[in-house]
Amino acid sequence: MMKVQNNLQNEDAVFLDAKSLVRESSAMRILLADDDEHTREYLKGLLVSAGHTVYEVEDGHSAVDKFADILPDLVMIDVHIQGLTGHEAAIKIREKCGSRFVPIIFMTRNND
């Protein structure tokens, strides 16, 4: 299960199965940034099976650099990634977006 926090409306977090976040539609170029190899491989498998192209990185600095290289349609980044945090990397990524809107999904996992 994934925990999705909706900070815009200050509602409680919503729990979703990761598979419910993936739907077959127009193929997207997705930047997946997570320092946990197992998480990256799991999410990459889901996304690729839905027809998307996935570019993987394992730290925040690489996420910013890779974003500039590939200009993805979507960014999925671990909040607690090594190097720059997910939030710090997102700020730098937003600076590179210009007027283009690119959704950023923040991820974290709880081992409880």
pLDDT tens for residues 39-87?
A: 999 999 999 999 999 999 999 999 999 999 999 999 999 999 999 999 9
- Considering only the top CATH level, what class is 23-107? alpha beta
Domain ranges of the chain: 23-107
Separation of first and last alpha carbons in the chain: 12
Does residue 18 have a pLDDT over 50?
A: yes
Tell me which DSSP letter residue 100 carries. -
Rounded to two decimals, the pTM is 0.77
Neighbours of 93 (CB within 10 A): 23
Quick one: tokens of 102? 């690119």
- Tell me what percent of the residues of the chain surpass a pLDDT of 90: 68
Q: How far is CA 61 from CA 57, 67, 97, in A?
A: 9, 10, 16
Tell me if 67 sits within 8 A of 60, measured CB to CB. Answer: no
